[in-house]
């Protein structure tokens, strides 16, 4: 799955539709594949997260309740995609580089393995906007990492480089700049040597999906979304001409 | 261990090489956003390269409001 939408693969309605087609494809692939790789064709990075401009403009066009319903509908769809990738019997590999923020980080987190090149930065900047990650980030981060690291990422909004991410157990391999996809393909070749059914059973055993927390995350996100600070934060971000809109 | 002047010099060298700006056009007190013509995402790219080069971890919130090479160097020096 090659992400390819300028400026940096922001997840709005178009990318969501791409991801939905991808999810349908991996559900129907059967025994024809052992592994799938998600990567970006853009030099800026893997994915800068949710399309905040689309979120802001589409929300402004609707009344309060309708806006929240619209957001909830979007979240339900993206969660469905994330859950399908997470639960896929295939081995899923995220080959990431550069900006891997917010929803992009959450997309990487659904994968079984993350291969990151040295330019990668991971970040959950949502609290800067008065929100929490909404695409399953917190439950999946909690599943994989110690809660102290989760709190650090979430409550400070700071970004980690690939080396730090590997040291806390998030990334399986750190590779030279531009080499993530090549290494992910080599990893997929290794995965292919094993019995697919056994690998699927092992994955199901060691990677439970926190469905209840994921549901709660959608509710919390929608509760927060109606706060005036969120609209103000989104407005500031969308209208900013500051050189550092990502570093408020 | 590097002294502050060495740290600053390495930052200027790395910035010039990566963003393809002649080294002689960069000065310690330059606003690197303007001199390097970079945006916030490219600034994070620079931060990542500096962390990798110096083998340090520098939280990006420590760079809030920092836009000149000299102050950036002092932040990095404090982590060496």
CB pair distance less than 8 Å for B64 and A120: no
CB pair distance less than 8 Å for B61 and A247: yes
- Domains of chain A in start order, with CATH, are 2-179+195-234 (3.90.226.10)
Chains A–B, number of C-beta pairs less than 8 Å apart: 55
SS (H, E, C) B7-76: HHHHHHHHHHHHCCCCHHHCCCCCEHHHHCCCCHHHHHHHHHHHHHHHCCCCCHHHHCCCCEHHHHHHHH
CB pair distance less than 8 Å for B48 and A161: yes
- Residue by residue, pLDDT tens for chain A (248 residues) are 999 999 999 999 999 999 999 999 998 887 788 999 999 999 999 999 999 888 888 887 777 788 889 899 999 999 999 999 999 999 999 999 999 999 999 999 999 999 999 999 999 999 988 899 999 999 999 999 988 999 999 999 999 999 999 999 999 999 999 999 999 999 999 999 999 999 999 999 999 999 999 999 999 999 999 888 888 888 888 887 665 555 44
Residue B57 is part of a domain; what is its CATH number?
1.10.1200.10
Shortest distance between the Cα of A25 and any Cα of chain B, in A, equals 33
Q: What is the value of pTM for the model shown?
A: 0.92
- What residue numbers bound the domain in which B16 lies? 4-77
Cα-Cα-Cα-Cα dihedral sign, residues B51, B55, B61, B64: negative
* Counted domains in chain B: 1
Stretch 60-119 of chain A: residues touching chain B, C-beta under 8 Å:
98-99, 118-119
């Amino acid at each position: 799955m090659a992400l390819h939408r300028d400026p940096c693969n922001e997840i709005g309605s178009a990318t969501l539709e791409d991801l939905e087609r991808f999810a349908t494809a991996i559900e129907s692939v059967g025994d024809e594949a052992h592994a799938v790789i998600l990567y970006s064709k853009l030099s800026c990075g893997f994915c800068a997260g949710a399309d905040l401009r689309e979120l802001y403009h589409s929300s402004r066009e609707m009344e309060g309740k309708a806006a929240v319903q619209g957001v909830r509908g979007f979240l339900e769809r993206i969660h469905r995609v994330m859950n399908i990738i997470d639960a896929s019997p295939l081995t899923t590999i995220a080959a990431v580089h550069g900006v891997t923020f917010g929803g992009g980080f959450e997309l990487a987190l659904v994968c079984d393995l993350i291969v990151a090149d040295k330019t990668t930065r991971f970040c959950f900047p949502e609290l800067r906007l008065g929100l929490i990650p909404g695409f399953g980030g917190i439950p999946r981060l909690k599943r994989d990492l110690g809660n102290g690291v989760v709190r650090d990422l979430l409550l400070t909004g700071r970004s980690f480089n690939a080396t730090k991410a590997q040291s806390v157990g998030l990334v399986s391999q750190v590779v030279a700049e531009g080499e993530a996809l090549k290494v992910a393909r080599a990893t997929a070749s290794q995965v292919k040597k094993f019995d697919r059914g056994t690998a699927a059973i092992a994955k199901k055993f060691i990677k439970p999906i926190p469905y209840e927390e994921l549901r709660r995350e959608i509710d919390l996100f929608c509760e927060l979304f109606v706060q005036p600070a969120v609209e103000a934060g989104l407005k500031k971000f969308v209208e900013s001409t500051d050189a550092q809109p990502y570093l408020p | 261990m590097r002294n502050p002047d060495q740290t600053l010099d390495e930052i200027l060298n790395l910035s010039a090489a990566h963003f393809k700006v002649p080294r002689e056009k960069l000065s310690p007190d330059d606003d690197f956003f303007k001199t390097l013509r970079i945006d916030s995402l490219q600034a994070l790219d620079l931060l990542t390269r500096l962390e990798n080069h110096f083998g340090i971890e520098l939280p990006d919130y420590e760079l809030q409001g920092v836009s000149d090479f000299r102050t950036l160097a002092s932040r990095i020096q404090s982590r060496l």
